[in-house]
Structure 1
C-alpha cells in the first residue's frame, strides 16, 4: 500500500523519471529493501517549481487506508545530486541513504547529502581526526554572549558558545556539534566545555563579575549512564560555582527520548544544576511534558523574536508565551534580539532577560572583559525609557 501511494505521488513531481514501464503501468519507484524506496528526478525541473515539490513531500506523508484504518506514514527523505555527490548509481544511492539517516532528516523530514555527515568521506574522516586532536590539545575555545536583565539593566549571566579558531578550513559551531554527536566525540567535548566554563567563571569572579554561565548540553549526553555522576563530582571540585552553571537543553532534542531525558535531568537537578529549556517554541513538545522537567528558565526561540517589531501576530504569540511561562513560574529569556525596538517591546511585555547582537556578538574572554568595562547600564535605561 505504501509503495503504491508513494508511486502515485512521485509520478506527479516535476521532472520525475520513470524507472520501468509495462503494458499497464509506469513505475517511478524502486524498492531498495523492505523499508527503503528510491526515485529519480530531473533536479533542474524540480527546483524550478519548489512549491509543487513541497506539496508532493507533504502528500507522501498522508496516511494510507489499511483494513478500514488510517495508517500514518512518517517517511524520511534523503537527497543526492548528480554529479555533485557522485557519478554512478551506487555512490548516489549510498549518499542519499546517508542523508536519509541524518538527524536533519529525522527533524525536518528531508535532508541533502553533506560530506561532513558522511562517516566514510575523506573530508569527514579528516574533520573527525582534527576535532579529536583539538579536544585533546585544548585547541578549541569558548566565546561568551551576555544576558541582560531588563528590569535592572545589569548583565546577570553569559552563554558559553564553542568556537574552533586557527583552523585553516573554518568549521561552523553547529557543524562541530553535529560531527561530535555522530562520532561519539560529544562525550569528551562536553566534558571539556564544562571544565572550561568553570575556569572562565573563576576568572570572572576574580575581576568582580559574579554572573552565571550557561552551557548547551546534547541529548546524547543525557543518554550517557555516567553523565550525572560526572557532573556531580565535577561540581564538588568547584563548589564556589554551585548553582551558577546552567545547562541548556533544546526543546526538540528532549523529545527524541523523553523518558530517559526526564530521568537524566532529574538526576542533574538533584546534583544542584539549574536547567534552561532552549529554543522554546521551535518544536512540538507538549506542555504537560515540559511541566515535568526540573527547569527554572525558558528561552524563547529567535524565530519567534526576530519579527515582533513588524508582525502583530508574532507579538501576540510572544506576549502570550511570556505570560504563560510566568504563570508557571519560569524566568523568560528572549534570544536573537538585534535592535532597540525589539528590546523595548520585550521590556513592555515583561520579558525577564534578553541576549543577542543588539548587545554584542559572542566574544572571546578578554574581549568580553573589555566590553563589560565599557558597558553603561544607565545609558541603556534611558534609551529604553525614551522608546
Structure 2
C-alpha cells in the first residue's frame, strides 16, 4: 500500500505541474513539488485561478491525467480520484478554511458523480445558515416542536387500510424544511441519534391513539443508516419495545436499499439483532440502488417497497412495467410482501393490482396528515361501504 501511495504522489506531481497557474509547494532534492499530502488518501495543491481559467483545455488535460490509473507491478490500479475546489477569497482567505471547504466539495455527491465539484455553502453542514438551522432543530427537538404525519397503505386484494407510515415534519417553522433536509442535517451533525429515539417514542404514542380509536394498524418508521452503526441502538429498541408490549410486531422499521450498502456487514448484523427481538423490517426505495440480490436475500425483511421512480410513469412506460412486474414476481418468490410507493392515480393502481402487487401508498389515497386529520380520514373511510375501495 505504501508503495502505491508513493507512486500515486509521483504521478500526481507530474500531472499537476502541467496545470496552468500551479504554484510550487517547495523543493525536495532540487526538484519542485506541487502537491502536499494532507493524509494518506488526500492531496492538495494551490493554483492561481486567474491563470488556469484562461487556459481551460490545458487545465482539463491536467485534471484528466490526475484520474489516470497507477501502474503497479504491471497492474493498472484505478485511482477514481475525486476533486474538490475552494476559491479564495470567495470561499475563504486562510488556508484552514480553504482546505476544509475543498474537502467538503470533494466528498459531495457531485464530485462522486462527475469527478470534480466546487464548494457550495448549501452542501456545507457548518455554513452560517446551516449552523443556525442546526441550533433551531436542536431546540425544536427539545421543545417538542417537530411532528409525525401519517400516510396510509392500502391492501389491493381486500381494499382495506393495513398500515401507516410515520413521516417527520417541522410544522411551526417560518421557512418550510423538507423531511429529507431535516434527516440530512441530523445525520451530518449527530442529531440523528436523539431524533430517531424521539420518532420511535412518538410512534408508540401515536399507535396508542390509533388503538383507542379502534384502528389496529401497523406503523412504519424510517431508520437512518447512522442508527444502524450505533452499538447501543438494538438494546435501546429492545428495552423500548419491552416497555410497550401491546405494540409488539406492529412497529415496522424501514431502511433504504442504498443505506444498506454503505456498511452492509454491520447493517445486516444490526437488522438481524432487531429481527430477533421481533421488529419487522421493510426495505424502502427498492430499485433505486445497486444492491445485489444475494445480499437482499440475507436481510431479515418481510416487506419490499418499490421506489416511486419506477411507479410514476408506470401507465405510459412499458419498460417500467416490465421492471416492476419482474420485481414483484422476484420479491414474492423470496417471500416478501410488496408495496408500491408514489401511486397517484387509479390507472397506476389498477395496473399494480393486475401485476399482483400487495399494497400501494401515495397521494391517490392521501397525503401525509397529522394524527387528528388521519383519524378523521380513517373514520370516514370506515363509514363508507368497503367493496369499492380497492382500485379495479
TM-score grouping bracket, smaller chain normalisation: 0.7 to 0.9
Moved more, 226-235 or 103-112: 103-112
Partners of 2:23 and 2:221 in 1: CA distance: 53
Partners of 1:373 and 1:62 in 2: CA distance: 63
With the length of structure 2 as denominator, give the TM-score of the two structures. 0.81
CA contact (8 A) 1:301 1:334 kept: yes
Partner of 1:270: 276
Asked if residue 146 in structure 1 is aligned to residue 145 in structure 2, the reply is no
Partners of 1:59 and 1:157 in 2: CA distance: 54
CA RMSD across the alignment: 3.6
Partner of 2:263: 257
CA contact (8 A) 1:117 1:124 kept: no
Partner of 2:138: 132
Partner of 1:205: 211
Report Cα offsets for 1:165-196 as digits up to 9, x if no partner. 11123322111111211221111110100010
CA contact (8 A) 2:160 2:389 kept: no
1:130 CA displacement: 1.6
Counting only pairs closer than 5 Å after superposition, residues 82-121 of structure 1 correspond to structure 2 as 85=91, 91-102=97-108, 113-115=119-121, 117-121=123-127
Partners of 2:13 and 2:320 in 1: CA distance: 39
Partner of 2:313: 307
Partner SS for 2:291: coil
Change (3 A) 1:36 1:226: closer
Partner SS for 1:361: coil
1:232 CA displacement: 0.8
Partner of 1:343: 349
Partner SS for 1:259: helix
CA contact (8 A) 2:310 2:324 kept: yes
In the alignment, structure 1 segments of 5+ residues that lack a partner are 22-28, 47-52
With the length of structure 1 as denominator, give the TM-score of the two structures. 0.82
CA contact (8 A) 1:219 1:253 kept: yes
Report Cα offsets for 1:7-55 as digits up to 9, x if no partner. 99999xxxx965369xxxxxxx96564633568799xxx9xxxxxx9xx
Aligned residues: 367
1:190 to 188, 196, 204: 196
Partner of 1:223: 229
Partner of 2:29: none
Asked if residue 19 in structure 1 is aligned to residue 22 in structure 2, the reply is yes
Partner of 2:299: 293
Partner of 1:248: 254
Asked if residue 163 in structure 1 is aligned to residue 138 in structure 2, the reply is no
Larger radius of gyration: 2
1:228 CA displacement: 0.9
Partner SS for 1:368: helix
Asked if residue 76 in structure 1 is aligned to residue 79 in structure 2, the reply is no
Partner of 1:50: none
